[in-house]
Amino acid sequence: MKIIKSLTAYTTVFILVVIVLFAVLMIGLIIYRKKSKGLIVEEEAPEDRRYGDVDSMVDVEDIADDMIIEKGRKRFVAVLRCTGGDFLRLDPSEQERVQYQYINFWLAQTERICYRQYGEDIDLSGTLEMYEKSREEVETQLFNFVEDRKALKKKFDECGDGPDRVDMAASLRWIDRQIKAFKWRLLHLEDEIDYIERVSGPAAGRQRMIQTYVVSWSPDTGLAGPQLTDEENYEKAVIELDKICRDKARLLSDAGAVAQRCRTEELVDMCRCFYKPLSGNRFGVETLAETSFFDDIVTAESVESRNRRANEKAAMAYMAESAG
């Protein structure tokens, strides 16, 4: 009987201990969930977030010699801009050859390579400028013909039945044909300009797909590698990236694609559009190059005009004094 009572007591104590531990565990789990929810809410609150400096997240130190140079000059990056052909119009045998060549392109890679595809706003600003210049020329010529017709028509009305009346009438008919032709050209140019303005720029909402391959080269920093200076690493990077880009372009050419290495200006524009997509697509590098955006000191015409007025005033005072 004593053994049965002891087992019963031990069993009861064990069950009570299990219940207490389970209750403590449940309470701890509830508290943990409440704290976790509080942390999530606090993390998602914009006013409580800590934003880092963008310069600390950008590894670009410089862009020169058709390369993107990362901070520390331990990695140099080049970009190949690629355009493909019309694959669907090829013969089946040619399509098969292109596929195998493109597979060989990837199998030939021994170093890391990145394929980047992004959209770029259609920029026809150069074409638009050309059309606007042509419109100004046509408007000038049309204005001259209209004025010539007015003068000739006045002489025609005043000459009466003189011998020059027939020649003037022929000249008026010729000028009328020229005015009609220039009006048609002006209407055509205005239609073209209106179409370009609708399809070009960020407001048009149209983009073309850009395909690029990003390759890099880093100097050997191991103990067995040569210990080169930063200037020597830079010079070697120029040579090595040129070899890499030429090899990649040749392999892509075998696959029916045309690859060209991006120049320094293109890399600057590419990085600027990536970090500042709104203003980068709105203002191109060519537009910024014509402004004072990169100037440390910007002068205004007001300084020159003020100096000119001061010199004129001093000259007038000197002349008045000399005359007196």
**CA geometry: angle at 56 spanning 55 and 60, to 5°?**
60
Q: What is the pLDDT of residue 49?
A: 62
Q: Which residues of the chain have pLDDT under 50?
A: 39-43
Angstrom CA distances, 250 to 81, 255, 259, 287, stand at 13, 9, 8, 34
Q: What angle do CA 76, 77, 82 make, to 5 degrees?
A: 160
Residue carrying the six token digits 């990056």:
77
Torsion angle in degrees (nearest 10) through CA of 191, 193, 199, 201 = -160
Q: What is the 3-state secondary structure (H, E, C) of the chain?
A: CHHHHHHHHHHHHHHHHHHHHHHHHHHHHHHHHHHHHHHHHHHHCHHHCCCCCHHHHCCEEEEECCEEEECCCCCEEEEEEEECCCHHHCCHHHHHHHHHHHHHHHHCCCCCEEEEEEEEECCCHHHHHHHHHHHHHHHHHHHHHHHHHHHHHHHHHHCCCCCCHHHHHHHHHHHHHHHHHHHHHHHHHHHHHHHHHHHCCHHHCCEEEEEEEEEEECCCCCCCCCCCCHHHHHHHHHHHHHHHHHHHHHHHHHCCCEEEECCHHHHHHHHHHHHCHHHHHHCCHHHHHCCCCCCCCCCCHHHHHHHHHHHHHHHHHHHHHHHC
For 171-196, write each residue's pLDDT tens digit.
999 999 999 999 999 999 999 999 99
User: What whole-number distance in Å separates Cα of residue 217 and Cα of residue 69?
Assistant: 10
Tell me what pLDDT residue 40 has.
45
- Reading phi first (left if > 0) and then psi (alpha if -120 to 50, else beta), residue 72 is in left
Q: Residue ranges of the domains in the chain?
A: 2-47, 60-123+203-289, 125-200
